[in-house]
């Protein structure tokens, strides 16, 4: 049922003549418009008008009640006071060049920008032009992890990304940043040769989280190749930094990567860290709605798409002054060639980071996975009908769940987020697995095939003690339940498979392990895994009992 506007609800509660007004009467498919109009005129004594295309009759009447019982009427809707209003449009003079903001419905939620709580967004990149007028009062903290000053950006990439997120909005100057309440946390990690040491990236993530960043933007990617370990650039240090961010309430958003930086284009795998658990991986869309060849594909770790072609943003004035005759100093049309029609998943990710910041400014108590779900599950499905000839309906490897829809995600933020999983981050055995105490336990948590396939818990067993465990996974999806011996550190590591103690791998969502007897004392690990596309809530329970001594 569509909710009525507040002012219309109030009007309907008022007595007497307040109910009078103009009404639309929908006409049943099999009924005659003229006959219904005649009935309406006879009942109200007022002249009725007919719209054949809408199959509706319009009339002024004392109330809806006098119309609802007429033959052939499908609905009666009060029109007095029922209006729509234009969304907020920034007065920034270069806003017209930001084609991408209307496409993601950046400001559709407001007539005027509201006063929202500030949310800190970390830009882990090449620094920022600290004297740029768009960032006056917008930077909460800045530090370099590669030497030099974080307030200087000789390459421009970080300043470009920062402008997309948090350039001053509605100040009649320059461009409009999407996350208008955001404060930036700037971490400079890019060396002069444009390479980013993983050590610098990891330390920067930790530093940013410790300074209150709730969103971490990583417009960077390393090669991921599941078929060739020699080429794959997975880093446990990077993974530990991302897990630290998630554990401390920060959502990590990362570009899936560009094919021109990969072994071939298009590249069929999202890069690192976009492919890590709980990271929102972002691909790019072109102005025509298609997915450019440079945007990496991935059936699992490409979560959402956003405009990443012909993007307009800020640049350091030290970079744009190389073209002194260009009028818009400090903006990308005055920059080097590669920025004048900037493209890349690096420039798609900041839009998603900015949307995440808006959600958190609206509902600051949300957890990272809740924000991720709001972003992805409200995305606009990208299909051939919207310009992407190779996209299929619903989730696909090119655009994930679809195109970012800021207004829709904000509309669901107050009440539509899924329940928070208080046991995260518990994606593997070892120290990250939360300990469950007691002889009998039942817990409820969530799992997601695309972003959180595995949850692991540790349970203490004495030598000879028996454990039985049951799992009721998300309905309609395959779930697995496994028990691992003490000393297991990575449940997906082939070298660890000899430590698998018991398993239940039946089709469907119901699994059970019965009366496993512990051969040695120690902390064992219960693994919950979703093995078919889907997500949702599961219930895990176990019972322990000591065996009688003979």
Per CATH, the homologous superfamily of domain 6-78 is: Phospho-2-dehydro-3-deoxyheptonate aldolase; domain 1 (3.30.70.1140)
Encoded tokens for 129? 């032009």
Give the per-residue pLDDT at 263. Answer: 84
Q: How far apart are CA 293 and CA 364, in angstroms?
A: 37
Q: How far apart are CA 543 and CA 468, in angstroms?
A: 5
Q: How far apart are CA 118 and CA 524, in angstroms?
A: 43
Give the per-residue pLDDT at 4. Answer: 32
Q: What is the pTM of this model?
A: 0.83
Q: How far apart are CA 311 and CA 307, in angstroms?
A: 8
Encoded tokens for 226? 């599941």
Angle at 214 between CA 209 and CA 217, to 5 degrees: 85
What is the dihedral sign for C-alpha 225, 230, 231, 237?
Answer: positive
Task: Return per-residue pLDDT of the chain as tens, 550 residues.
Answer: 333 333 233 222 222 332 468 899 999 999 999 999 999 999 998 999 999 999 999 999 888 889 999 999 999 998 877 777 668 899 999 999 999 999 999 999 998 899 999 999 999 999 999 999 999 999 999 999 999 999 999 999 999 999 999 999 999 999 999 999 999 999 999 999 999 999 999 999 999 999 999 999 999 999 999 999 999 999 999 999 999 999 999 999 999 999 887 888 899 999 999 999 999 999 999 999 999 999 999 999 999 999 999 999 999 999 999 999 999 999 999 999 999 999 999 999 999 999 999 999 999 999 999 999 999 999 999 999 889 989 988 899 999 999 999 999 999 998 888 888 999 989 999 999 999 999 999 999 999 999 899 999 999 999 999 999 999 999 999 999 999 999 999 999 999 999 999 999 999 999 999 999 999 999 999 999 999 999 999 999 999 998 766 5
Q: How far apart are CA 227 and CA 134, in angstroms?
A: 44
Cis ω for the linkage preceding 421 (within 30 of 0): no
Give the residue numbers marked as catalytic: 125, 157, 346
Q: Compute the residue count for the chain.
A: 550
Q: Using CA atoms in the order 218, 221, 222, 228, what is the torsion angle rounded to 10 degrees?
A: 130
Give the per-residue pLDDT at 549. Answer: 60
Please tell me what DSSP assigns to residue 369: H
Q: How far apart are CA 374 and CA 115, in angstroms?
A: 21
Contact, 305 vs 399, CB < 8 A? Answer: yes
CATH architecture of the domain covering 430-545 = Sandwich (2.60)
Encoded tokens for 165? 């997120």
> Which of 505, 512, 504, 502 has the alpha carbon at shortest distance from 540?
512
Encoded tokens for 9? 């609800």
CATH topology of domain 116-412: Rossmann fold (3.40.50)
With a CB cutoff of 8 Å and minimum separation 6, the contacts of 341 are 309, 310
The number of angstroms, rounded, from the C-alpha of 83 to the middle of its chain's C-alpha atoms is 31
The number of angstroms, rounded, from the C-alpha of 79 to the middle of its chain's C-alpha atoms is 36
Q: How far apart are CA 297 and CA 266, in angstroms?
A: 7
Sequence ranges of the domains in the chain? 6-78, 116-412, 430-545
> Which of 184, 542, 548, 546 has the alpha carbon at shortest distance from 357?
184
Angle at 389 between CA 384 and CA 394, to 5 degrees: 55
Question: What pairs with residue 215 in β-bridges?
Answer: 121, 251
Encoded tokens for 198? 């993983």
Element (DSSP H or E) covering residue 73: strand 73-78
> Which of 448, 447, 359 has the alpha carbon at shortest distance from 400?
448
Give the per-residue pLDDT at 218. Answer: 98
315 CB neighbour count, 10 Å cutoff: 28
């Amino acid at each position: 049922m569509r909710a009525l506007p507040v002012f219309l609800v109030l009007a309907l509660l008022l007595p007497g003549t307040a109910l009078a007004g103009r009404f639309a009467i929908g006409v049943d498919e099999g009924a005659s418009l003229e006959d219904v109009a005649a009935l309406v005129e006879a009942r109200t004594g007022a002249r009725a008008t007919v719209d054949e295309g809408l199959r509706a009759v319009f009339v002024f009447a004392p109330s809806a009640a006098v119309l609802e019982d007429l033959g052939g009427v499908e609905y009666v809707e009060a029109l007095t006071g029922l209006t729509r209003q234009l969304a907020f449009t920034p007065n920034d003079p270069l806003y017209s060049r930001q084609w991408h903001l209307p496409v993601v419905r950046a400001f559709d939620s407001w007539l005027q920008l509201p006063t929202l709580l500030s949310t800190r967004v970390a830009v882990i990149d090449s620094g920022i032009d600290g004297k740029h007028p768009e960032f006056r009062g917008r930077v909460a903290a800045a530090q370099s992890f590669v030497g030099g000053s974080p307030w200087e950006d000789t390459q421009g990439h970080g300043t470009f990304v920062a402008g997309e997120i948090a350039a001053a909005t509605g100040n009649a100057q320059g461009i409009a940043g999407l996350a208008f309440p955001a404060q930036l946390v700037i971490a400079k990690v890019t060396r002069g040769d444009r390479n980013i040491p993983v050590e610098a990236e990891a330390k920067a993530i930790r530093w940013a989280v410790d300074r209150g960043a709730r969103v971490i933007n990583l417009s960077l990617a390393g090669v991921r190749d599941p078929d060739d370990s020699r080429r794959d650039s997975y880093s446990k240090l990077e993974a530990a930094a991302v897990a630290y961010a998630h554990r401390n309430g920060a959502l990590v958003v990362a570009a899936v990567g560009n094919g021109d930086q990969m072994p071939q284009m298009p590249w069929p795998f999202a890069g690192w860290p976009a492919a890590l658990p709980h990271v929102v991986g972002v691909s790019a869309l072109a102005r025509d709605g298609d997915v450019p060849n440079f945007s990496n594909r991935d059936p699992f770790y490409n979560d959402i798409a956003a405009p990443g072609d012909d993007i307009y943003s800020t640049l350091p004035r030290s970079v744009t002054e190389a073209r002194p005759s260009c009028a818009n100093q400090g903006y990308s049309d005055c920059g080097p060639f590669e920025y004048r029609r900037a493209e890349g998943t690096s420039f798609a990710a900041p839009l998603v980071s900015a949307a995440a910041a808006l959600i958190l400014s609206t509902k600051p108590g949300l957890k990272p996975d809740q924000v991720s779900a709001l972003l992805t599950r409200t995305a606009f499905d990208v299909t051939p009908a919207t310009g992407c000839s190779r996209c299929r309906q619903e989730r696909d490897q090119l655009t994930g769940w679809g195109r970012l829809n800021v207004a829709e995600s904000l509309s669901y933020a107050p009440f539509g987020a899924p329940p928070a999983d208080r046991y995260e981050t518990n994606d593997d055995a070892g120290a990250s697995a939360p300990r469950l105490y007691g002889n009998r336990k039942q817990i409820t948590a969530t799992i997601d095939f695309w972003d959180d396939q595995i949850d692991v818990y540790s349970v203490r067993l004495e030598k000879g003690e028996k454990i039985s465990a049951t799992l009721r996974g998300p309905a309609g999806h395959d779930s697995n339940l496994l028990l691992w011996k003490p000393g297991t550190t990575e449940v997906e590591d082939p070298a660890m498979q000899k430590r698998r103690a018991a398993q239940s791998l039946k089709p469907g969502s119901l699994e059970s392990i019965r009366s496993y007897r512990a051969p040695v004392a120690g902390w064992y690990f219960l693994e919950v895994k979703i093995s078919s596309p889907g997500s949702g809530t599961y219930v895990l329970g176990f019972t322990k009992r000591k065996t009688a001594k003979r």
